[in-house]
Amino acid sequence: CSCNTLMEHPSRVGKYEVEEFLGGGMSRVYRAKDSVLGRRVALKILAEAAASDAEAKARFLQEARIASSTAHENIIAVYDFGEEQGRPFMVMEFLEGESLRDAIENQRAGDFARRMQIALQVGRAIGHIHLKKIIHRDIKPENINVDRTGRAKLMDFGIAKSDNLQLTKAGMTLGTPYYMSPEQVLGQDVTPQTDVYAFGVLMYELLTGKKPVEAENYERIFHKILYVPLNLEPLHEAAVAPAAIDLIRKCMAKPPAERPQGFGTICGAIEETLRQGALQPRPAPVQVAVQHDVTEDELPGFLQILPA
């Protein structure tokens, strides 16, 4: 069947042959093949119901334009975008690997050095979009892809803000609660410092496996973000390098002005921490005999995860 029938799962969009539905809600993501170039791609299409919403449609096209303007080795590449029978679509590189969320939860993010390398790549990607006057506003492990070589790529610009276009309604707060900065919670103007705060949250979780703020409902989460001092104990328990702890503390400062000013500074601090770690002698490994049956879930493996 043809996409021209506007089926919920089209078989073709322009020159792109749909191969498999990968997931999604308001936007559907498919593995597809470029029939001209012969390469595998990820095809993201606004769902039929959402395509009738003018603001949802405009936001989808804004995401496509923003993402296509941010070529960087640590950012997902957007090859093409357009509209088919009233439904906007974008065509992205097909990423092998898994989300950073899965890597953290399944303990596949590696040792401290590898985790810091992932953080460094994410920091470089955010620094790149900031140079282009783009604020991501939704930095979180779900929006980072990591492949088996350790290459990290920033994804999903669905609520990104650029200087040229802002579709957020007055008073509307966008973001994922755990990673929102105090100014986002308060509905204040969002600046690049919002991404700095979220990056600090991401680093905290990457290095400890725990969120720095957890509560049973949004109200308690927001209260902690606004008023409760950052708990550094899990970082100490995880034996995180003091310099990395200090960087996280600074990134998560509640006043935006107290956070590092720019990702050049942040990436420089991460690079220095990695250099210091390489110079320090490694302790002899402690041999501990543990009886443990390995489950299927613990076997190394990589899922194909794409932004939805």
What is the predicted pLDDT for the residue at 160? 66
pLDDT-based confidence at residue 117 (cuts at 50, 70, 90): very high
Residues comprising the chain, all counted: 308
Catalytic residue among 34, 80, 138, 297: 138
> Average pLDDT, stretch 267-291?
70
Q: Which of 269, 264, 270 is nearest to 130 (CA)?
A: 264
Most confident option among 66-75, 113-122, 169-178: 113-122
Closest to 76 (Cα-Cα) out of 108, 55, 99, 104 = 99
Is 297 one of the catalytic residues? no
The yes-or-no verdict on residue 69 having pLDDT over 70 is: yes
pLDDT given for residue 225 in this prediction: 96
Helix, strand, or coil (residue 95) = coil
**Structure confidence at residue 61 as a pLDDT band (50, 70, 90):** confident
217-252 tens-digit pLDDT = 989 999 999 999 999 999 999 999 999 999 999 999
Nearest alpha-carbon partner for 197 in 251, 244, 154: 251
Residue recorded with tokens 């990457």: 206
Q: Which of 158, 167, 35 is nearest to 90 (CA)?
A: 158
Q: What was the pLDDT predicted at 282?
A: 53
